[in-house]
A and B are shown apart, each in its own frame.
Chain A
Amino acid sequence: MSDRVTFMLDGHRIEAYRSQTIMDAAIEAGVYIPRLCHVPGLDPWGSCRVCTVKVNGRPCAACIQPAMDGATVENDTDELNAWRRELVEMLFVGGNHFCMSCEKSGNCELQAMAYRLGVTAPTHPYLAPERDVDASHPDIMLDHNRCILCARCVRTSRDLDGKQVFGFVYRGAERRIAVDPGVRLKDSEADVTDRALDACPVGALLRKRQGFQVPVGGRAYDHEPIGATDGEAEGAPDGASDGESLEPAASAGREAS
């Protein structure tokens, strides 16, 4: 059996390795699929569902769905973007996101995703949950009000920092990020140099005394939508006619399993 599969993504032919996810294949081909919890280089998590695509008509999270030979995948459609807008709106009303006073504003992926999807105001009622701020660490702040439970810090701390500083406690609406039970950040192994801090897409994990250093106008998403440069960096599908192959970039060492 060949270790390569081919599928159609919004009319473009995409080649992938068998076992590769639709998300990874799309990233290699330079096609942007909106995402919050997925980061290339981390194990897929599949919690935010913003990357929901339709595979042969069925909704799937692209970050955890393996590419299937001959599949037809829809990504950038009005219907899917409306679902994504709904998901992002629910993330906003489910937490306490005050962009106007947040240090992450302008560099926040949740905010940027809402901009990209054209959210002017959530349509659901705000839940205003009671959440803590852990400012015990001299150099790091953990603000649960802004956390969207993407597990990027959990995975980065575990897999890249080799520390396992963060984990989840409780379930459902009570679910939240925690360091060891009963332990505050200052008593954990967390360090200001941890890559886990950079992994946070929102303003939940911040280095202290770093906020507002970049003026409005110079921040990541002030002028360009999130995902706008993904295609450029890796060969945009622009100009690729229907059926034209978008060869995946060479990926040494990536074998079909």
Chain B
Amino acid sequence: MSTEAGTRPRIATVSLAGCFGCHMSLLDIDERILELAELVEIHKSPIVDRKTFAARCAVGLIEGGCCNAENVETLRAFRDHCDVLVSVGDCATMGGIPALRNRVPLKECLDEAYLSGPSTVNPTGRIPDDPELPLLLDRVYPCHEVVPIDYHVPGCPPPADALWAAVQALLSGEDPVLPYALLKYD
């Protein structure tokens, strides 16, 4: 853990190609969130809205897989700045619902969404291509196919108890081994 004596370990969280459900599950630890706030400093996270890393973190929790170039850039930044990286939830561990598009060529997905879908109204006939928009990847990748991931906590979302157990174990320097009742893919 990359923290000086007397300071709380920093953790970071992010939602890539996810639905924020895993973050909701993290908040679902209820009153233990007060304990968490005393145990750690939440450095970079949607909860604190910091845009870039300003310090090295002990633990990074990744929700969501990688569906576009920005996801990849963010994930690599997390790998660079976190000692331990954890894939949280089915989207991070296996692609999840966004990966349903992996069986359909990207062009067909975009055509269906912006040109030929039954409810599509698009007089310009253009697929959004503003340079500000992150480029979509050919398919949705689980995080461990993009950067090395240290641990996986599956679930859709993982139970709050599983996230709490995993975070507690990691802060104690132990492997987060989930008991049977908390290892679930749904």
A residues near B (Cβ < 8 Å) are: 92, 96, 98-102, 105-106, 111, 114-115, 118, 120-123, 125-126, 128-131, 216, 222-225
The one of B100, B178, B186 that contacts A120, using a Cβ cutoff of 8 Å:
B178
Can you name 28 A-B residue pairings with CB atoms under 8 Å?
A96-B103, A98-B96, A99-B156, A99-B185, A100-B90, A100-B96, A100-B97, A102-B186, A106-B186, A115-B184, A118-B183, A120-B154, A120-B183, A121-B87, A121-B94, A121-B142, A121-B144, A121-B152, A121-B154, A122-B94, A123-B144, A125-B145, A126-B94, A126-B102, A126-B142, A128-B99, A131-B103, A223-B181
- Identify the closest chain B residue to A102 (Cβ): B186
Contacts of A224 in B (CB 8 A): 180
Query: CA A223 – CA B184 in complex, angstroms?
Result: 10
Q: Known contacts being A128-B103, A128-B139, A223-B181, is A120 close to B153, with CB within 8 Å? A: yes
Interface residues of B (CB under 8 A from A): 87, 90, 93-97, 99-100, 102-103, 139, 142, 144-145, 149, 151-154, 156, 177-178, 180-181, 183-186
When chains A and B are docked, how far (Å) is the Cα of A249 from the Cα of B3?
61
CA distance A224 to B180 in the complex (A): 8
Contact of B93 among A105, A118, A120, A216 (CB under 8 A): A120
**Bound state CA distance, A106 and B183, in angstroms?**
12
The reply to whether A115 and B183 contact each other, CB–CB distance below 8 Å, is yes
B100 touches A98 (CB 8 A): yes
**Interface contact A99-B186, CB-CB below 8 Å:** yes
> Which residues on A sit within 8 Å (CB–CB) of B145?
125-126
